[in-house]
Every structure is written in C-alpha cells, then in structure tokens.
C-alpha cells in the first residue's frame, strides 16, 4: 500500500503562512532485476533474459535517437526529449552583447526530459491505495525574514 506525507512548504506568494502539499513516500527503489522479475511473474511467457534484453535495447535506442535530436514517444509510457546546456567551463552568452558567441562545441546534453503518458497515470492511479504516513513540518528559525536576508 502506498503512503503519503503531508508536508509544509514556505509560501512563495510573500505571506508568512506556510502552504501544505502532499507527496508520496517512496519505500525503496526497485532495481532493473526486480522489475524484470515482477514482469515475468505476471503470466508472461517471455523469458527473463528476453525482457532484460528488450529493456537494454530500449535504453540503447533511446540514447541513439535522443542524441540525434529526436523526441521519442513510447505509447503507454510517455515522451522522452533531450535537453542541452553549456559545458561546465563555458560562460553564458547574450543576444545583444559583444561577448564570445557559443558554438556547438560549447554545448552538451544535460538531461533527458520525460512527460508521462496520461494513460500510465490513470493505470497507476487504479492500483493506488493510499494510507497516511505522517507529517513533515518546516524547520522554524528564530530570525525574522528581514534578519535572514
């Protein structure tokens, strides 16, 4: 059963009243090996090695296509798209300035953005039975907002 935590967060609208939000408590991470075991137990006739091979081929295919500038949609899972940014030793340039202009060698892939398929969210929600796990409050400081600044 999934558990949730009620958590306080500072109000970013300028008021001192903290906001409340909820987050899912993650019990632990499921490894690839455990995930394959889980899938293979679900009445699949597919061999564990075939599932592991398919996952590795999916990862390799995603890396190749994302690295070549494509976004990739996997039906029922979501859309993957690469993000780029400056290399660590490079400075940001401007549109108007006289500074050095960046070229492709100054940039690198910095992450993979993922947008979940709405159907995956619906399916996960059907499996979700929530139970309260507790609260997490903000650490209050003895200093005023002005003193902290």
Distance CA 27, CA 14 (A): 34
Give dist(CA 72, CA 66) in Å, integer.
7
Q: What is the pLDDT of residue 59?
A: 96
pTM, two decimals, is: 0.70
Residue 119's pLDDT is: 96
Residue from 107, 109, 70, 67 nearest 90 by CA: 107
Which segments of the chain does DSSP mark as H helices, in order?
A: 32-41, 48-67, 118-127, 145-148
Q: What is the pLDDT along the chain (149 residues), one digit of tens a residue?
A: 888 888 887 776 767 777 888 888 888 889 999 999 888 887 667 788 999 999 999 999 999 999 999 999 999 999 999 998 887 777 666 666 666 666 777 788 999 999 999 999 999 999 999 888 877 766 556 666 677 66
Contact 91, 101 (CB under 8 A): no
Dist. CA 110–CA 34, nearest whole Å: 28
Q: What is the pLDDT of residue 104?
A: 74
């Amino acid at each position: 059963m999934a558990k949730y935590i009620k958590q306080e967060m500072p109000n970013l609208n300028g008021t001192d009243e903290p906001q409340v939000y909820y987050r899912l408590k993650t019990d632990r991470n499921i490894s690839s090996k455990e995930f394959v075991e889980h899938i293979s137990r679900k009445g699949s006739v597919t061999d564990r090695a075939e599932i592991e091979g398919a996952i590795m081929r999916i990862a390799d295919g995603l890396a190749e296509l994302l690295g070549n500038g494509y976004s990739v949609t996997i039906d029922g899972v979501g859309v993957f798209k690469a993000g780029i940014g400056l290399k660590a030793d490079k400075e940001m340039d401007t549109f108007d300035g006289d500074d050095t202009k960046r070229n492709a060698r100054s940039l690198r892939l910095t992450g993979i953005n993922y947008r979940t398929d709405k159907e995956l969210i619906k399916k996960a929600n059907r499996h979700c039975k929530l139970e309260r796990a507790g609260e997490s409050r903000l650490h209050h400081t003895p200093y005023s907002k002005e003193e902290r600044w």
